[in-house]
Amino acid sequence: MSRGEGRSLRRVKKWLGLIVLAACGVATTGVIGRVQSEKRLERWTAEQAIPTVRLISPKRGSGKQELVLPGDVQALFEAQIHARVSGYVRNWRHDIGDRVRSGEILATIDAPELEQQIEQARGELAKAESNLQLAKLTSKRWAALRASIAVSQQSVDEKAGDVNAKAAEVTAAQANVDRLKAMEGFTQITAPFAGIVTSRNIDIGALVSVGGSNKELFSVADIHQMRIYVRAPQSFSSQLRVGMKASLKLPQYSDRTFHARVAATSNAISRQSRTLLVQLLADNLDEALLPGSFAEVHFGLPDDPKALRVPVSALLFRGDQVQVAIVGSDKKVALKSVELARDMGSEVEISSGIGPDMRIIDNPPDVIANGDEVEIAQDSADRSSKMKIGRGESKGRTE
């Protein structure tokens, strides 16, 4: 091999060595970059496994709250009038919708059997009075005979006692006559108070009877003022007081509001429904309110300034408990059981279990548990932007 060929061979080997070293450097740099990218990906994946949540703070009550309950409208006074004597309807003078005065005759009943009973009772009274007169004469004669010792004192006393017995029979017979004459007054059906006839269930010639399941002849209602009955849930019973004002909305008057006030409460909670019966009074001078109507009763309730409100979406229902998820300064979750006071639609009022400074998760995941770590929405956005910047720089270096 000549000297020139040896020099050329050494030059080739040198270049091959440089090429191999460059290749090793490029491979090493690629491996290192790939390892760093994988570590960043693992860190990003771990961070994405932590749920991102949005935090809210409890709000204190402000302004007034409205409680709407179904109400039953009834007349101030309403009477179902039944027959007190049996007989046939001779006539009726008032129909449904008629206004009547107190004591005004509504109908008349013919009661021939009652008339016969009265005649019989008068005969019994006359007989008892005759017997009394005879007993008095007999007692007087026997008392005179006692002076001549013709009769015994025992016999005189018996005749005097007979006078007293006959007098008692007269009194009983007179009472029977008076009772039947009083019953005769019930052949005229009268209005017990001034009002409106709301039902008539008789006609001329109809037979009416006493007792049993006989239907009422008339119904009369006084509607110058109306009673409205509402059953309020137990949780609101302490806030409904006598004198409180309320407004009424009726389906037939969509553009009108009626005003009422709480007149009384039952002061007792029903065992069946756990509600308080509330009675309201409403003036009805134009008679727009009708007995038997359905009404929406709107109560204006003052807020409790100490009560706290949260969205319904923040609640967790676990078994028989209602909970909220609280996030501490270490971003760890703590589940708190709460007591609900009022449901206000999109929000609920909480009476106990949380404080005004607590950070509560809105729309918490169903599987969230005590001690879970979470990412707060704002912090997550900052972290994501940083991750994007970091990955962009890494990509530029790799290229």
Residue type, 373: E
Is residue 214 a contact partner of residue 82, using CB atoms and an 8 Å limit? Answer: yes
User: Shortest CA distance to 317 belongs to which of 354, 364, 352, 355?
Assistant: 364
pLDDT of residue 382: 47
Whether 61 shows a pLDDT value over 80: the answer reads: no
Query: Which residues have a Cβ under 8 Å from the Cβ of 249 and sit 6 or more positions away?
Result: 257, 258, 295, 296, 298
Residue type, 155: S
Residue-wise pLDDT for 261-283, tens only, equals 999 999 999 999 999 999 999 99
Given a contact cutoff of 8 angstroms between Cβ atoms, the answer to whether 186 and 81 are in contact is no
Look up tokens 């040896």; give the residue.
6
Reported as type and span, the H/E element at residue 92 is strand 87-92
pLDDT bin (cut points 50, 70, 90) of residue 324 is confident
Q: How far apart are CA 300 and CA 260, in angstroms?
A: 12
Per-residue pLDDT, averaged over 148-152, amounts to: 69
- List the CATH code of the domain at 52-61+306-378: 2.40.420.20
Q: What is the pLDDT of residue 306?
A: 72
Per-residue confidence (pLDDT) for residue 386, from 0 to 100: 47
- Pairing assessment for the beta strands 347-352 and 308-311 based on DSSP bridges: antiparallel
Predicted local confidence at residue 12, as pLDDT? 63
Residues 6+ apart with CB under 8 A from 46: none
CB-CB contact of 110 with 87 (8 Å): yes
DSSP conformation class of 373: B
In the three-class reduction of DSSP (H, G, I as helix; E, B as strand; rest coil), residue 328 is classed as: coil
pLDDT at position 387, please? 46
- In this prediction, residue 13 has a pLDDT band, given cuts at 50, 70 and 90, of low
Q: CA-to-CA distance for 226 and 75, rounded, in angstroms?
A: 5
What is the predicted pLDDT for the residue at 355? 82
> Residue-wise over 240-254: b if at least 16 C-beta within 10 A, else e?
beeeeebbbbbeeee
Question: Would you list the domain boundaries of the chain?
Answer: 1-49, 52-61+306-378, 80-200
202 contacts 83 by C-beta, under 8 angstroms: no
Rounded distance, CA 220 to CA 77, Å? Answer: 8
Report CA torsion sign: 58, 60, 65, 67. Answer: positive
Task: Tell me the average pLDDT across 331-337.
Answer: 86
- Rounded Cα–Cα distance for residues 60 and 356 (Å): 8
The model's pLDDT over 186-239, given as tens digits with 9 standing for 90+, comes to 899 999 999 999 999 999 998 988 876 678 899 999 999 999 999 999 988 888
* Alpha carbon distance 95, 185 (integer Å): 22
Secondary structure letter of residue 39 according to DSSP: H
pLDDT at res. 380: 44
**How many helices (H) does the chain have, and how many strands (E)?**
4, 22
Q: What is the spatial distance between Cα 135 and Cα 389, in angstroms, rounded to a whole number?
A: 131
In DSSP notation, 271-307 reads TTT-EEEEEEEEE-TT--S-TT-EEEEEEEEE--TT-
Residues of the chain with pLDDT > 90: what percent?
Answer: 34
Alpha helix (H) ranges present in the chain?
A: 3-49, 112-147, 153-185, 377-398
Mean pLDDT score of the chain, rounded to an integer?
82
pLDDT digits (tens, 9 = 90+) for 339-370: 887 777 788 888 788 888 888 989 888 888 88
Residue 398 above 90 pLDDT?
no
10 Å Cβ neighbour count for 94? 19
Most confidently modeled of 150-154, 252-256, 308-312? 252-256
Asked if residue 300 lies in contact with residue 64, where contact means CB atoms within 8 angstroms, the answer is yes
More confident residue, 131 or 29: 131
For residue range 103-114, what is the model confidence (pLDDT) as tens digits? Answer: 999 999 998 888
pLDDT at 132: 86
The model's confidence at residue 157, banded by pLDDT at 50, 70 and 90, is confident
